[in-house]
Structure 1
Amino acid sequence: MFDSLLASWLTFALAAVVIAVTGVYISRLADLLADRTGWGEAMMGGLLLAGVTSLPDFTATLTAAAHGYAELAMSNIMGSLAVNIVFLAVGDILYRKANLEHAAASSPNLIQAALLIALLAIPLIAMVTPEYALLGLHPATPLLLFAYLVGYRSVQSSQERPMWLPRRTAQTVEDKPDRARRSRHGLSRLWAVFIAQALIIAAAGWTLMTAAETIAVRSALSQTAVGALFTGVFTSLPELVTTIAAIRYGALTLAVSNIVGTNAFNMLVIAAADVTYREGSIYHAITSQQLLWGLVTILMTAILLIGLLQRERYGIARIGLESALILVIYAAVAVATLLI
């Protein structure tokens, strides 16, 4: 689509800015809708906001897969999964009242984190098993969809009828929907604006990946480096800005559920990529580097889950040990990816 590397980089940067700016507004709108609808922050963040903030990943990954760039497509989604967990560590650094894992612990967030580990294991297992397709699809693809739907039924059940509750402390910030929360606009208008912003984010994601394909072809960077460290990071900008904005508004459950829910939703992106990739199973068209990023994401999610369960109130400089470990692990793997 682009004739020069410079034009690709400029378009890439512009699309990234659009994604970031739109993400700021949509996070505040999601918090408002969580109250007005009575759904709560966990369900709004884990499903609707997660789906919207995943749109850049969705359009970017499917664009690359449809054009035959399997390594770029899977590197983008695996890189997004990893950097999203890093964004929660950044949020922990910014939230100074206590460790974020302590303040935002809730039953739905715990189940979402465990669900993410289970969902991510499915494509990783498919990558190392013999290639097989039924009607052009690998069995892992429908299995991902089924597991996601069943898993989120459990998340919904834990929201409505929790069988486990975190111990309330002075630093705990509970999610209490406020249906009487005021707004200048009616509920229908709020939904219309929410959908319009979602479409803007999706269009920017498609543009960003189209530019990234040219960058991957014409630069000295590998598809894995471009996908995991560039498109993976920039298509995840909505998650960063919505997380920071939610923390600023005091919607801590929304911040955590948005990140973990987005990563769970991204498993459906992998399934969709297998559908659009027409040269075989996408699980077997990638390298060990994407497998590495997937395993690293499982590791970081497990560390996050331990933090949500242990609920350390304060760490060194009020930064949790879990957040520090996540940042160190991500930095080490990022450097290794650039050197490979």
Structure 2
Amino acid sequence: MLVYISFFLAAAIVVFAAIKLNDYGDQISKQTAMSGAMVGGLLIAGATSLPELTTSVTAVYIDNVDIAVGNMLGSNVFNLLILAFVDLFYRKKQVFNQLNTNNFLPSTIFGIALTSIAIGAMILDYQITLFNIGFEMFILVGLYMISVKLFEQEEARDEIKGQSNSTPLNKVIRYFVFSAIIVLIAGSILSISGDLLAEQTGINSSFVGSVLIAASTSLPELVAVIAAYKIGNYAIAIGAILGSNLFNLLLLAFTDAFYQQGPILQGVSSSMIIIAFLSLVMMLITLYMLMRSPAKKVVKYIAPSLFTIVIYLVVSYIIF
């Protein structure tokens, strides 16, 4: 009973803190030269990815590599699933047709590249390490740093009616950091509680890491995206998802640094390769949604989101 209470209480705290995190991020976007895409892709994405880091590092220490890696890759998949569901729900707004796609192409393309490198590392058993860290991790970190440089500093921002902002920037930043800490603590408790619940069911580690725990640690992204959609700041919503996915791939390198038995990506089961390929396909669909010509009919517009949801359900069933 205590595990159930911990799980739902932590989930409630994560939801509340993530809403605040999104609000403060939006205020930072308005008071600084940082664009909505950059705030979403760096600040909010980094903060909402903290539970994934804590969970994966913990999984390394308990010697469960599938949970450590599956949590990161599964969170990326679940993040894109969130984007598909929200886009489907707000289909009449046709958000992707309103975006300045140039702000999001770098993070999407780099996400595809980093995921492809991770897939290659899992398939090819080359065991090349540096400081006991897989060589591919240094490539991931290098590409991530390049992607950060490509975020645009300026972006046209829509004014939100009825919202006044009188909070000084220094206070907003402090509130943002405090909310991020709350997300870290509550998200970690949520992940541990979810892991204990999953253990009681006897489900395999691959499914636990890539679906159950990944879904739990993605709650901040879910709330952040919904909150951003409600206030009409679609740039933060899309940027938070794409940036979080990039950040999760970066965190693989930090997780590998704690793993002492060789390259972490080469110690996972074959199910992780399936999850990684699923993430790659879903990102390619997202890239298509960003680059395609505006769809006039709603049915045609929602087709990619529907396809994303279907393939997620099919693959999750196969892994289960």
Question: Does TM, normalized by the shorter one, top 0.5?
Answer: yes
CA drift at 1:107: 0.6
Kindly provide the amino acid, as one letter, of the partner of residue 239 in structure 1.
Answer: E
Structure 1 segment 152-301 matched on structure 2, within 5 A: 152-156=148-152, 159=153, 175-176=156-157, 182-301=164-283
Q: 1:285 to 1:321 in 2, by over 3 A?
A: same
Q: Mean Cα displacement is larger for which, 217-226 or 114-123?
A: 217-226
Q: Mean Cα displacement is larger for which, 202-211 or 311-320?
A: 311-320
Q: 1:9 to 1:285 in 2, by over 3 A?
A: farther
Give the match for residue 2 of structure 2. 7
Deviations 1:216-256 (A, max 9, x none): 54431111111112110010011111101101101011111
Contact 2:187 2:217 in 1 (8 A): yes
- Structure-1 separation of matches of 2:67 and 2:2: 20
Q: 1:69 to 1:92 in 2, by over 3 A?
A: same
Give the match for residue 146 of structure 2. 150
1:139 aligns with 2:121: no
Give the match for residue 93 of structure 1. 88
CA drift at 1:114: 0.7
Kindly provide the amino acid, as one letter, of the partner of residue 220 in structure 1.
Answer: G
Kindly provide the amino acid, as one letter, of the partner of residue 132 in structure 2.
Answer: G
- Structure-1 separation of matches of 2:102 and 2:167: 32
The residue matched to 1:155 in structure 2 has which SS? coil
CA drift at 1:62: 1.6
- Structure-2 separation of matches of 1:110 and 1:72: 30
Kindly provide the amino acid, as one letter, of the partner of residue 55 in structure 2.
Answer: A
- Structure-2 separation of matches of 1:239 and 1:56: 11
Contact 2:191 2:216 in 1 (8 A): no
Deviations 1:112-161 (A, max 9, x none): 111100111122111122223222111112211111001221234xx55x
Contact 1:98 1:318 in 2 (8 A): no
Contact 1:38 1:177 in 2 (8 A): no
Give the match for residue 58 of structure 1. 53
1:321 aligns with 2:316: no
Among all aligned residue pairs of Structure 1 and Structure 2, give the percentage whose two residues are the same amino acid. 28
Contact 1:66 1:278 in 2 (8 A): no
Give the match for residue 169 of structure 1. none
Kindly provide the amino acid, as one letter, of the partner of residue 38 in structure 2.
Answer: M
1:83 aligns with 2:78: yes
Q: 1:32 to 1:146 in 2, by over 3 A?
A: same
Q: 1:335 to 1:278 in 2, by over 3 A?
A: same
Contact 2:295 2:301 in 1 (8 A): no
Higher helix share: 2
Contact 1:89 1:323 in 2 (8 A): yes
Contact 2:40 2:236 in 1 (8 A): yes
Q: Residue 14 of structure 2: which of 6, 16, 19 is its match?
A: 19
User: TM-score scaled by structure 2?
Assistant: 0.92
Kindly provide the amino acid, as one letter, of the partner of residue 299 in structure 1.
Answer: V
Q: Residue 330 of structure 1: which of 295, 308, 312 is its match?
A: 312
Query: Aligned pair count?
Result: 316
CA drift at 1:182: 4.2
Kindly provide the amino acid, as one letter, of the partner of residue 10 in structure 1.
Answer: I
Q: Which runs of 5+ in 2 are unaligned?
A: none
CA drift at 1:278: 2.1
- Structure-2 separation of matches of 1:95 and 1:103: 13
Q: 1:10 to 1:285 in 2, by over 3 A?
A: farther
User: TM-score scaled by structure 1?
Assistant: 0.87
Detail structure 1 runs of 4+ shifted over 6 Å in the superposition. none
Give the match for residue 118 of structure 1. 113
CA RMSD after TM alignment = 1.9
Q: 1:126 to 1:269 in 2, by over 3 A?
A: same
Contact 1:63 1:209 in 2 (8 A): no
